[in-house]
Chain A
Amino acid sequence: MKRVAIIGAGPAGIEAAAVLANQNMEVLLFEKSLNTLSNLLDKAYLFPDFSLASDRVDKLNKKLLHPNIKLCCDTEIVDIKKDGDEWKVVDSKNTSYLTSAVLLTTGYSVFDAKRKEELGYGIYNGVITSVDLEKMIKYNQIENAMGEPPKRIVFLQCVGSRDEKSGNNYCSKICCVTAVKQAIEVKKLMPDTDVYIFYMDLRMWGQSFEEMYRESQEKYDVSYVRGRISEAASTFDKKIQIKAEDTLVGLPMKMTTDLLVLMVGMEASCGTKALADVLQIKGEYGFAQSLNCHLQDNETTQQGLFIAGSCKRPMGINETLADARSASVIIMDYLNACQENNEL
């Protein structure tokens, strides 16, 4: 039985592990955290169908109950190198594992909004991130800095994405639709709350996204303002004052809000950056680089080393799962070809 190491037990790692295990491969799935799916655990609902995130977590985790999968949580992989025809994977306790192929699914981390000091995250309690709001929605505890239900919530898109100041010129792809989803969720929970979304341009690229955007305006009365917020400050009564320019009417504006939600983008995770560096496959912005983005998007410059999911670039969950299945097929082809060569 061929053995494959998968680094990272997020949606991509779990999906690939399940596909490979079903194809009679032995899978070693390494996760540095104590739990699998850590980025998914705090989510309430998923776009575009508002399915329960916990349901998806349960279903993905069930896939791990396969005799061919060995899950190693709390295990950080620090080195991966070619050892003859095999790969040697080494963890932080210096334990080595030999495998025929390696799949990197080390994923993303969210942008640290404290880097955008002008927006006041970590300084003012009324400034939160989309990750914080998701937790509030999940536990139905949406509160302002005074612990009261907010009368107005303002979302700001593109925090740490499409932003030269933070060094991230790329689009994180999922924030636009996430803000629309969260705005609808807020209005479902608190219909009387005013909700505004400040955007540069709304990228409703996925199936049903445009419909959600339209529904948010027609059914839920969410207001959209085209413009970036230049600064946030606390007022005397602990609200948040924002300054922006409405670029459609060409006028500066000032507004106070109970909550300012920063739609934080995706960055390469520390694990992605470190291992991409070790493996010499580091691409732009620290993400792992595929051989080419059209025909060999799961392959790398090194034979037997594959990549999938948001360690390559920002991706939503459904795209990540599809990419993981694609990587699994490529890995099986690679291992079959290796076996044929050996038999010859």
Chain B
Amino acid sequence: MAKYYWNEYQKTIADDKYFYERSCIRQTFFPGSETAFLRIVREELGKDIYDEMNQHTCTGIGYHTDIVPLETTMTVVARLFSLMKDAGYTNYVPSCVTSFGVFSEMIEIWNNKPEVLEKTREYLRKATGREFDIPLNLVHPSDIIYKFRFDLKEKMKYSLVNRFTGKPLQVVEHIGCHYAKIFPEKGVGKAEFPHVLAGMIEAWGGEVVDYPERRHCCGFGFRHYLLQENRGYSIANTKKKFESMEPYEPDFIVANCPGCTMFMDKWQYTIAEMEHKTYDKDGYGIPVLTYEEMAGLLLGYNPWNLGLQLHQVQSEVLLNKIGIPYDPNEKYKGASGQILPKPERPNNLLV
């Protein structure tokens, strides 16, 4: 086998005792993913993970759109780290890839400029009277799932295999830019061929689709989307990716960034509306999962508890391929047992 220097690169991922920080947007768009992650870590892996009640934004979106100044971001990040210190943890696990990038960047600045670190301590003290420690280990949740992928495999009820053909599912993996493109050494396998999601897919029976625009932006790109006038750039980038992956007929897409998962999911609806075009054969679109949803499904978690019905592209075709049972009547049943209103059907994308 060829020797790939970058593929041999493994980052340090703590074994246990994690401090979890939730994402601003993931709870809205993929509400089951963070709950699934906590369940996997606690119940499947038997690890200690702390879910803090008093957390807040990392400022990531505001920071990357130049609305929030650097000093403010540093102080807000410092407050989050102070919550970890109070809880008695040293291993910080931010749910969002943007947060992961922001924390990595702030720590890098502090490590290189001790005077800035002291200034941040002073700002935090003045603003809140709190103290903070820099985490000993900063990892993304996808790193933890990657680290324990073989342990999880032993507990899985299903694998990434098409039960009708017996062949591995063809999976497109998409890594958030802020996972390894800012600091390649912070990502498993580094920046160009990160192995964090590919490692899960391969371990769980699937095959990774290596298509030409694999590293291309998902279409979020902060300003590409947040400024309404720029949204044409956003959807054009997403379209470029879909056109590139289409010939490989992927069964689904998995991503580790909230922005990527959301945009690759929801722009499929928009492209279908604008151009009457879907990128699968049958008009249902290509399902886009988070890695927690992928792991949860294979572990046998109820697809509706994972929140798959809240995606734009629906997942029944994929569930059928894997052989995961589901009850269509419970798809829109809320936690209280009440059946919630069904979303409006798109004109072109089949559901």
Contacts and interface: CB of A to CB of B under 8 A. Distances in A.
Contacts of B214: 233
B5 A115 contact: yes
Interface string B1-14: 01111100000000
Nearest to B184: A165
B244 to A, nearest CB: 9
Nearest to A118: B192
A231 B192 contact: yes
Contact of A233 (B3, B190, B211): B211
Nearest to A124: B210
Interface stretch (A32-40, A234-242, A274-282): A234-242
Contact of B212 (A114, A118, A123, A235): A235
A interface secondary structure, majority: mixed
Contacts of B4: 114, 117, 122-123
A234 B247 CA distance: 13
Nearest to B190: A117
Q: Max chain B CB contacts within 10 Å: which of A115, A117, A123, A236? A: A117
B15 interface: no
Contact of B215 (A115, A231, A235, A236): A231
Nearest to B7: A117
A117 B247 contact: no
Interface string B82-101: 00000000000000000000
A123 B211 CA distance: 13
B326 interface: no
Contact of A234 (B5, B193, B210): B210
Contacts of A114: 2-5
Interface string B185-222: 00000101100000000000000001111110000000
A250 B117 CA distance: 40
A110 to B, nearest CB: 15
B192 A233 contact: no
A233 B192 CA distance: 11
Nearest to B3: A114
A234 B212 contact: yes
B2 A122 contact: yes
Interface string A105-123: 0000000001101100011
Contacts of B247: 236
Interface string A16-41: 00000000000000000000000000
Contacts of B150: none
A310 B313 CA distance: 59
Contacts of B248: 236
A117 B248 CA distance: 22
Contacts of A234: 210, 212
A117 B3 CA distance: 11
Given A117-B190, A233-B211, 9 more contacts: A114-B5, A115-B5, A122-B2, A122-B3, A123-B2, A233-B210, A233-B214, A236-B247, A241-B212
Interface of B: 2-6, 190, 192-193, 210-215, 247-248
The 3 closest A-B pairs by CB, nearest first: A236-B247, A233-B212, A122-B2
22 contacts: A117-B4, A117-B6, A117-B190, A117-B193, A122-B2, A122-B3, A122-B4, A123-B2, A123-B4, A231-B192, A231-B215, A233-B210, A233-B211, A233-B212, A233-B213, A233-B214, A233-B215, A234-B212, A235-B212, A236-B247, A236-B248, A241-B212
